[in-house]
Amino acid sequence: MRLTEPDYERRALKPARVGRRSRMTTRTQKALCDELTKQPSMYRCEMADFLHCNFGIRISERSIGRTLQSIGWTRKTIRRIAQQRDDDLRDHYLHRISQYQSYQLVFVDESGCDRRAGYRRWGWSPKGFSPVETTKFGRGKRWHILPAYTQDGIVLRRVYQGSTDSDLFEDFIAQLLHHCGRYPEPKSVLVMDNASWHHSEKIVQMCREAGVVLEFLSPYSPDFNPIEEYFGVLKRFIKKKWCENEDFIAREFKMFLEWCVDVVGDDTDVAEGHFHHAGISVTQPPE
């Protein structure tokens, strides 16, 4: 049969259907994304149940995965936020800290470490096989790293075994104050979190006598503390340098940790980046 010109145009313009039409509509996509914003840790089977319960549709987990990939959603490590965090207290802290120049700030915090610090979570292997690495199990004694961090990097650090208590922390602050200026000089504002031993009366008195201002972070606000990012970089550096230093680590684990702390803490550009990520505008002291 010969097609007339109008018939030909209508048939030519009609799009050809390829494959089955997706049950995932714009509306269901938006609903799923809204639910994932509230509960980002959902498994795909839970997403399928959510769509069935709320929209009466059955969608396979594989289809859900393809849909999320097509709209730019990927699976990442979750950053957890404490329910106890108070936005008013956070705003109040930001208002207080904005009164200071970045070169006046010295952040102090501690972090734990043991011989498992060198374990790497990811490895290579052929498809379908899990990577296997033979490792001597046992974490050994726990060590603590206690640094004082400025926009120029580490100004003082201590690496020690055991737990942190008031006596040890007070001794560290007494040593740190020799590196500090009187307010408003550089390094004249100490910033710490709300650990109980940070609120020692002796520390308050020592800072007052040294002319150093003492500030405390708002509760449950590690994102305001640039030293937290420093600890993250430090732990990655430890993993990177572990294999090539295993013999040295077996003999002198403390010395290895001290070396890592010093190397990572000696990079001014990285430290300034950590201050910036914590919401602090970096400024330089007057000549």
Alpha-carbon span 214 to 204, nearest angstrom:
7
Are residues 108 and 68 part of one domain? no
Are residues 107 and 72 part of one domain? no
pLDDT for residue 114 is more than 80: no
Asked which of 14-28, 202-216, 228-242 is least confident by mean pLDDT, the reply is 14-28
Are residues 123 and 48 part of one domain? no
Answer yes or no: is 1 within a domain. no
Number of residues written out for the chain:
287
**Residue 72 sits in which domain range?**
23-78
Instruction: Give the start-end residues of each E strand in the chain.
Output: 105-108, 111-113, 143-150, 153-161, 189-192, 213-216
Are residues 143 and 34 part of one domain? no
Are residues 70 and 105 part of one domain? no
pLDDT exceeding 70 applies to what percent of the chain? 84
Predicted confidence at residue 8, as pLDDT, reads 43
pLDDT for residue 267 is more than 80: yes
Are residues 91 and 212 part of one domain? yes
Alpha-carbon span 9 to 278, nearest angstrom:
62
Alpha-carbon span 177 to 199, nearest angstrom:
16
pLDDT for residue 16 is more than 70: no
Those residues with Cβ within 8 angstroms of residue 143's Cβ, 6 or more apart along the chain or in another chain: 112, 113, 114, 159, 160, 161, 253, 254, 257
DSSP-derived secondary structure for 180-192: PPSTTSSS-EEEE
User: 């329910």: which residue's tokens?
Assistant: 83
pLDDT for residue 5 is more than 60: no
pLDDT for residue 244 is more than 90: no
